[in-house]
Amino acid sequence: MSRIGKQPIVAPAGVTITVGKDNVVTVKGPKGELKQSIDRDITVEVNDGTITFARPTDQIRHRAMHGLYRSLVSNLVKGVTDGYERKLELVGVGFKAANQGNVLDLALGYSHNIIFEVPKEIKVATAQEKGQNPTITLEGIDKQLIGQVAAKIRGLRKPEPYKGKGVRYVGEVVRKKAGKAAGK
């Protein structure tokens, strides 16, 4: 049995969960509304604010989807109640970040600044404190969308292994390599 798939999801106060046609789960809460389509093989039941998932057989595919969809719906419930936040930091001399609305202006050591438009569902904030690396904060209710946008921003200049310069998640540890050995 899927250990994650067996666990029921308890909806907090103020969150309503409905299962529509074509197995689409809609979660409404204080921060907004999210939808997730569920595979037709997985059955979803909502009883008195608890959601349970069941699978028809013990096939590997069904076992995998059982836990997957339970986790995805759990993320929706957490998103509409608490929301998600992801922070990135820019490590490098002259690296800067500024935003106007949902448009990021990044100086990442290239010959030109990079203009990155963040989806309207996500709030973006930049901060530059003296003696600290510039930080970018992404906030929203959709965990998948925040992760995707953060990965794209990080992909603009990944941390390199020799000096550690680049865009990284706050708290990410970059393993550094030794440089080339000194000459004779």
Residue 123: pLDDT over 90: yes
Q: Which CATH number fits domain 3-81: 3.30.70.330, 1.20.950.20, 3.90.930.12, 3.40.50.11540?
A: 3.90.930.12
Residue 1 has pLDDT above 60, yes or no: no
**Mean model confidence pLDDT for the chain:** 92
pLDDT at 122 over 90: yes
CATH of 84-169, one of 3.20.20.30, 3.90.930.12, 3.10.20.30, 3.40.50.150: 3.90.930.12
- Rounded percentage of the chain residues whose pLDDT exceeds 70: 98
- Per-residue pLDDT of 33-81, as tens digits, reads 999 999 999 999 999 889 999 999 999 999 999 999 999 999 999 999 9
Average pLDDT over every residue of 136-159: 95
Write out the residue limits of the CATH 3.90.930.12 domain(s) in the chain: 3-81, 84-169
Please determine, for residue 184, whether its predicted confidence score (pLDDT) is greater than 80.
no
Which stretches of 50-169 are DSSP H helices?
60-81, 143-155
- 94 and 109 in contact (C-beta within 8 Å)? yes
Q: State the pTM of this model.
A: 0.89
Q: What is the amino acid identity at position 176?
A: K
In which band, very low, low, confident or very high, does the pLDDT at 98 lie, cut at 50, 70 and 90?
very high
Q: Say what the pLDDT of residue 2 is.
A: 59
Q: SS3 sequence, 6-52?
A: HCCEECCCCCEEEECHHHEEEEEECCEEEEEECCCCCEEEEECCEEE
Percentage of the chain lying above the pLDDT 90 cut: 85
Rounded average pLDDT over 74-100: 94
How confident is the model over 6-29, as pLDDT tens digits?
899 999 999 999 998 889 999 999
Phi, psi of 80 (to 5 degrees): -80, -15
- pLDDT, residue 21, reads 86
